[in-house]
Amino acid sequence: MGEIVQRRLVRKRNLEIALSKVKPHPSPKAYLEQYTIPANVASEFLYLAAYVNDDIIEKTVVDLGCGTGRLAIGAALLGAKQAVGVDIDKTAVRLASKNASSLGVKDRTSWIVADIDAIHGVFDTVIQNPPFGVQKRKADRRFLQKSLELAQRIYSLHKRENSKELAKTLTRGTRIKPAQPSVFLQRFVQRCGGKIRTAYAMIMTIPYMFKFHRKRKHEFLVSLCVIEREAE
Ligand SMILES: C[S@@+](CC[C@H](N)C(=O)[O-])C[C@H]1O[C@@H](n2cnc3c(N)ncnc32)[C@H](O)[C@@H]1O
């Protein structure tokens, strides 16, 4: 792909192929939960944000915990005015910047090495695949709080409880399906001044990466939450 597509519709499959070229972290750290979002999940995520909800094209977008940049780069490829990636890890951010250059979106992206708490400003949209809090409890909550300070619209990915029923539908070819997020997540977002407008379930498959992974591939259900900040 390479060129910026703006209002021209990009095929989801082409976006996925482009995003599969974003290199993952060479030495991921378990305590930061540095796994890379699979290209198929990233393309579903961004497609929904861009074409179903019009929250990417010509918008200012920030990717909190950007890792090596797959989501921010995807947003830029779809025509974001500017996509800013923030991560606490220097190696990840350096690679994100290189990935952006290789994919032809250097001028529409910027990269910051920082804790998300240090970020202030006004953006149209936050996109994030935060640490799920598996290694460090409650790690995802800080991301939700910060995202609601920065933008009106937030797309946030969270681990969800396993459900055989849901997993069965999703392995039968449906890649994304509307599904209520947990009551806990709904209440937490509400306490932070937001509301989960819609949520979708997806299957996330990541390769074996960390000592505590028991299998060659690690598969679990996630919720993609579309959140809106409520007027004060
Ligand atoms: C699950 S990974 C997601 C990476 C990337 N967004 C993706 O989806 O491929 C979570 C990322 O959050 C970063 N991170 C964790 N805590 C952070 C913090 N307090 N501030 C900034 N980044 C953080 C990690 O370094 C890691 O890259």
For tokens 């070229």, the residue is 21
Distance 34 CA to ligand 1 centre (A): 6
Distance 92 CA to ligand 1 centre (A): 9
Q: Which atom of ligand 1 is nearest to the CA of 29?
A: 25
Taking all residues of the chain, what is their mean pLDDT, rounded to a whole number? Answer: 91
Q: Which residues of 153-183 are buried (b: 16+ CB within 10 A; e: fewer)?
A: bbbbbbbbeeeeebeeebeeeeebeebebee
Cβ atoms 94, 64 nearer than 8 A: no
| Closest to 31 measured CA to CA, from 198, 212, 221 | 212
Give the DSSP letter string of 73-134. HHHHHTT-SEEEEEES-HHHHHHHHHHHHHTT-GGGEEEEES-GGG----EEEEEE----SS
Tell me how far apart the alpha carbons of residues 51 and 12 are, in angstroms, rounded to a whole number.
Answer: 10
What pLDDT digit, counting tens, does each position of 166-214 carry? Answer: 888 888 778 899 999 999 999 999 999 999 999 999 999 887 766 666 6
Tell me how far apart the alpha carbons of residues 66 and 217 are, in angstroms, rounded to a whole number.
Answer: 22
At residue 45 the predicted structure's pLDDT band, cuts being 50, 70 and 90, is: very high
- One-letter amino acid for residue 72 of the chain: A
Q: Which of 45, 66, 84, 141 to mutate to test the pocket of ligand 1 (most atoms within 8 A of CB)?
A: 66
φ, ψ (nearest 5 deg) of residue 36: -95, 135
Q: Which CATH architecture has domain 12-229?
A: 3-Layer(aba) Sandwich (3.40)
| Closest to 58 measured CA to CA, from 80, 43, 85, 32 | 80
At residue 3 the predicted structure's pLDDT band, cuts being 50, 70 and 90, is: low
Mean pLDDT for the stretch of residues 145-160: 97
Mean pLDDT for the stretch of residues 11-28: 94
User: Is the CB of 87 inside a 6 Å radius of any atom of ligand 1?
Assistant: yes
Mean pLDDT for the stretch of residues 16-45: 93
Cβ atoms 221, 203 nearer than 8 A: yes
* Residue 205 β-bridge partners: 219
What percent of the chain is predicted at pLDDT more than 70? 93
Please state the pTM of the whole predicted model. Answer: 0.93
Helix (H, G, I), strand (E, B) or coil at 35: coil
Cβ-based neighbour number of residue 43 at 10 Å? 26
Tell me how far apart the alpha carbons of residues 47 and 13 are, in angstroms, rounded to a whole number.
Answer: 10
Give the DSSP letter string of 180-214. ---HHHHHHHHHTTEEEEEEEEEEEEEE--STT--
User: Is the pLDDT reported for residue 229 higher than 80?
Assistant: yes
Residue ranges per structural domain of the chain = 12-229
Mean pLDDT for the stretch of residues 221-227: 97
Beta sheet of 123-128, edge-to-edge order? 109-113, 82-87, 60-64, 123-128, 151-159, 217-229, 194-207, 177-178
* Residue 177 β-bridge partners: 201
User: Is the CB of 24 inside a 6 Å radius of any atom of ligand 1?
Assistant: no
At residue 232 the predicted structure's pLDDT band, cuts being 50, 70 and 90, is: confident
Distance 8 CA to ligand 1 centre (A): 30
